[in-house]
């Protein structure tokens, strides 16, 4: 694996939108999406945080990276934050959670706290990792996003928000078109990247305090994987019984309370 320094010179600087004042908190979205989908959650954390919204490479307003790898994505985000905050917390949703874990491993001096939202150190099922989804589920999502981005996003949120989807449906639809749809190249490269993520052997290297938030109804990133992640790092696991794959939207206040409490923990330097 290339070192972060070796990757750095070839990486773009990603656009960063910084909002508010307080503890620096970087928010990283999931595969095929963009950072606008954190927008409804921001009022719950802006009283204590300066939030930094960053589209992952190849998504929204951000250019792609080459190679399209988890290490390159993490290094691009870290490079983009250097002139903004020397040290910050990072919270990642789904694939963004894996990027956050990679950042905590590769850039320990920059990351004060790490939170995963409906994420996992490994996304695909294996003989020694049963609490994960199948390649078929990811392929269905990729195919839908390629064919009809807006309709597939609507279906994704409806499935993962149940009764709480309807009140937010119009807002989510507007957020979906607020930034460019993910490119087909990023979708295709992203499914290969997501399918290959396996950070289990490196998790013990994380020094930052870790919080893993899961939704008990999630069928993409299972609650058991978040529990394993927290146990392996000496971190904290919070399982929201009525949430699925978007806990920051279905249980916005509970997710925010947990994240803000986590940010109060002492972080080793």
Query: Which candidate, 206, 191, 211, places its Cα nearest to that of 92?
Result: 211
pLDDT digit string (tens) for 115-155?
Answer: 999 999 999 999 999 988 888 888 888 899 889 999 999 99
Q: What is the mean pLDDT of residues 249-257?
A: 97
Q: What is the mean pLDDT of residues 221-244?
A: 96
Per-residue confidence (pLDDT) for residue 218, from 0 to 100: 94
Please check the confidence at residue 179 and state whether its pLDDT lies above 60. yes
Q: How confident is the model at residue 188 (pLDDT cuts 50, 70, 90)?
A: confident
Q: What is the mean pLDDT of residues 218-247?
A: 96
pLDDT digit string (tens) for 35-62?
Answer: 999 999 999 999 999 999 999 999 999 9
* Mean pLDDT over the full length of the chain: 93
By CB atoms closer than 10 A (0-12, 13-18, 19+), residue 12 is middle
What residues act catalytically? 94, 218, 245
Q: What is the mean pLDDT of residues 205-221?
A: 95
Query: Which candidate, 27, 22, 35, 16, places its Cα nearest to that of 82?
Result: 16
Instruction: Name all domains of the chain by residue range, CATH numbers in brackets.
Output: 4-263 (3.40.50.1820)
What torsion do the CA atoms of 78, 83, 87, 89 make, to the nearest 10 degrees?
-60
Q: What is the mean pLDDT of residues 152-172?
A: 92
Reported pTM: 0.94
Please check the confidence at residue 9 and state whether its pLDDT lies above 70. no
Per-residue confidence (pLDDT) for residue 78, from 0 to 100: 97
Per-residue confidence (pLDDT) for residue 2, from 0 to 100: 47
Please check the confidence at residue 227 and state whether its pLDDT lies above 80. yes
Q: What is the mean pLDDT of residues 254-266?
A: 96
Peptide bond into 67 cis (omega under 30): yes
CA distances from 176 to 12, 148, 152 (A): 24, 12, 11
């Amino acid at each position: 694996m290339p070192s972060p320094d070796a990757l750095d010179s070839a990486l773009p600087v990603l656009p960063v939108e910084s909002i508010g004042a307080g503890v620096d908190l970087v928010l990283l979205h999931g595969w095929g999406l963009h950072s606008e989908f954190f927008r409804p959650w921001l009022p719950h954390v802006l009283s204590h945080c300066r939030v930094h919204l960053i589209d992952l490479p190849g998504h929204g307003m951000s250019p792609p990276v080459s190679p399209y790898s988890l290490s390159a994505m993490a290094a691009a985000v870290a490079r983009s934050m250097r002139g903004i905050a020397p040290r910050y917390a990072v919270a990642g949703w789904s694939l963004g959670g894996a990027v956050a874990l990679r950042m905590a491993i590769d850039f320990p001096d920059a990351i004060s706290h790490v939170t995963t939202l409906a994420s996992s150190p490994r996304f695909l099922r294996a003989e020694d990792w049963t609490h994960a989804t199948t390649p078929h589920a990811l392929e269905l999502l990729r195919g839908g996003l390629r064919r009809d981005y807006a309709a597939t996003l609507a279906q994704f949120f409806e499935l993962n928000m149940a009764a709480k989807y309807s009140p937010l449906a119009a807002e989510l639809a507007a957020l979906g078109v607020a930034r460019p749809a993910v490119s087909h190249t990023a979708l295709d490269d992203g499914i290969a990247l997501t399918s290959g993520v396996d950070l289990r052997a490196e998790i013990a290297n994380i020094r930052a305090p870790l919080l893993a938030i899961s939704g008990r109804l999630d069928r993409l990133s299972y609650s058991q994987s978040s529990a394993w992640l927290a146990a392996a790092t000496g971190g904290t696991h919070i399982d929201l019984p009525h949430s699925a794959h978007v806990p920051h939207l279905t249980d916005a206040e509970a997710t925010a309370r947990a994240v803000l409490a986590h940010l109060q923990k002492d972080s080793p330097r």
